[in-house]
């Protein structure tokens, strides 16, 4: 039986009286593109730090590719590449030297061909000879990604990899990461850009206050809250009272006069909504129908699990 890429069993992490992780159990299979989502303070970084060996669980057990992160830490860390949220770099070396040194940490010699390929795919070739101090924030983040990949780990954890980077890098990075996933690498992604998770991840876990509140295939999570948002700009008459229960709040900013957003659970309900509007004398000046996306699922799950 093939070991999971990451296997966390009843993981608890306490910082004094604060419990950051409350018995998290999670198995990520080899070859998955997996999303780990949650609001700030949900426990994502605490879990990643334990997986990476940066901190120890208060209780519970974690394995990477079948290797215990405490008892067999060398093999576990060799199997893992992590792109951290923070921009951490050595200011005394060039980009290429940084990657060569990272290769040396893993005992890898003559790694130039793979380093060249990483530099090319992350659009860093022109910066290879520049000192790390001279790079912009976005370029430094690219180097962090390159460092995580330099030893060709079977498991890659991307912790907010596109935070603060430009659109071009984001597209290039995802093309490269998709290719790595097709080649068999397991990808674990944390991101606040939920459209990225929806597009890329086959399965998703959502954490809140140190506990998993949802764990399912992405399509199943979306199907669980099937339906759509109907955005309307009306004139002639106000929204009829019969449709008021379908209203969806659209944030703190006041909507333009006559603008309404309604939630419909089934596309078949659209016909009856339009009929009700016609009978009330409403004129539809604009209409936009949007399917339920992962962001809406995320918001609803966080509210339901208070």
* pLDDT given at position 96: 94
Residue 269 has pLDDT above 60, yes or no: yes
Range ranked top by mean pLDDT from 22-36, 152-166, 269-283? 22-36
Instruction: Indicate the pLDDT class of residue 268, thresholds 50, 70 and 90.
Output: confident
Residue 253 has pLDDT above 80, yes or no: no
| CATH number of domain containing 51 | 3.40.50.300
How large is the average pLDDT for residues 91-118? 92
Q: Which residue among 176, 205, 223 closes a domain?
A: 223
Radius of gyration of the chain (CA): 23
Establish how many alpha carbons lie within 13 A of residue 208's alpha carbon, considering only the half-sphere containing its beta carbon. Answer: 13
User: What whole-number distance in Å separates Cα of residue 100 and Cα of residue 166?
Assistant: 26
Q: If 0-12 CB within 10 Å is exposed, 13-18 middle and 19+ buried, where does residue 254 land? A: exposed
Give the C-alpha separation, 9 to 155, whole Å.
Answer: 18
Helix (H) or strand (E) holding 298: helix 294-304
Among 204-218, 220-234, 251-265, whose mean pLDDT is lowest? 251-265
Residue bearing the bigger pLDDT, 167 or 32:
32
Which pTM was predicted? Answer: 0.80
Instruction: Flag whether 282 is in a domain.
Output: yes
Dihedral sign for Cα 290, 291, 294, 296, please.
positive
Longest dimension (CA), the chain: 76
pLDDT confidence of residue 255: 61
State the residue range of the domain holding 62.
Answer: 1-79+184-223
* pLDDT recorded at residue 168: 74
> Is the predicted pLDDT of residue 226 greater than 90, yes or no?
no
Highest mean pLDDT among 65-74, 220-229, 247-256, 267-276: 65-74
Residues 60 and 17 in one domain: yes
Residue 238: CB atoms within 10 Å: 13
pLDDT at 224 over 90: no
Q: Mean pLDDT highest for which of 7-16, 85-94, 167-176, 245-254?
A: 7-16
Across 68-75, average pLDDT: 94
The answer to whether residue 202 scores a pLDDT higher than 90 is: yes
When divided into structural domains, the chain yields a total of 2
| 67 falls within a domain | yes
Q: Looking at 203, 223, 243, which one is the last position of a domain?
A: 223
Shared domain for 7 and 51, answered yes or no, is yes
Residue 156 has pLDDT above 90, yes or no: yes
Tell whether 241 is covered by a domain. yes
Mean pLDDT throughout 284-302?
85
Q: Does residue 194 fall inside a structural domain?
A: yes
218 shares its domain with 229: no
Which of 80-94, 196-210, 219-233, 246-260 is predicted with the least confidence, judged by mean pLDDT?
Answer: 246-260
Residue 13 has pLDDT above 60, yes or no: yes
């Amino acid at each position: 039986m093939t070991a999971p890429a990451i296997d966390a069993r009843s993981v608890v992490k306490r910082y004094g009286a604060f419990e950051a992780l409350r018995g998290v159990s999670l198995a990520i299979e080899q070859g998955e593109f997996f999303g780990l989502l949650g609001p700030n303070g949900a426990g994502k970084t605490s879990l990643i730090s334990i997986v990476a060996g940066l901190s120890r669980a208060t209780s519970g057990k974690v394995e990477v590719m079948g290797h215990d992160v405490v008892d067999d830490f060398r093999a576990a860390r060799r199997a893992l590449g992590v792109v951290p949220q923070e921009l951490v770099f050595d200011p005394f070396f060039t980009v290429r030297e940084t990657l060569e040194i990272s290769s040396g940490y893993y005992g890898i010699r003559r790694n130039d061909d793979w380093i060249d390929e990483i530099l090319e795919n992350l659009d860093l070739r022109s910066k290879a000879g520049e000192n790390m101090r001279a790079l912009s924030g976005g370029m430094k983040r690219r180097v962090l990604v390159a460092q995580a990949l330099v030893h060709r780990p079977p498991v890659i954890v991307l912790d907010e990899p596109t935070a603060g980077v430009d659109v071009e890098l984001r597209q290039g990075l995802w093309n490269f990461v998709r290719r790595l996933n097709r080649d068999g690498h397991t990808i674990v992604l944390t991101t606040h850009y939920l459209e990225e998770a929806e597009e890329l991840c086959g399965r998703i876990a959502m954490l809140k206050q140190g506990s998993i509140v949802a764990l399912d295939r992405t399509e199943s999570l979306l199907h669980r809250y099937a339906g759509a948002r109907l955005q309307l700009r009306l004139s002639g008459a106000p929204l009829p009272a019969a449709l008021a229960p379908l209203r969806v709040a659209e944030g703190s900013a006041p909507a333009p006069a006559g603008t309404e957003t309604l939630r419909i659970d089934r596309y078949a309900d659209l016909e009856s909504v339009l009929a009700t509007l016609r009978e009330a004398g409403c004129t539809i000046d604009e209409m936009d129908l949007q399917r339920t996306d992962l962001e809406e699922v995320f918001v609803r799950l966080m509210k339901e699990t208070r």
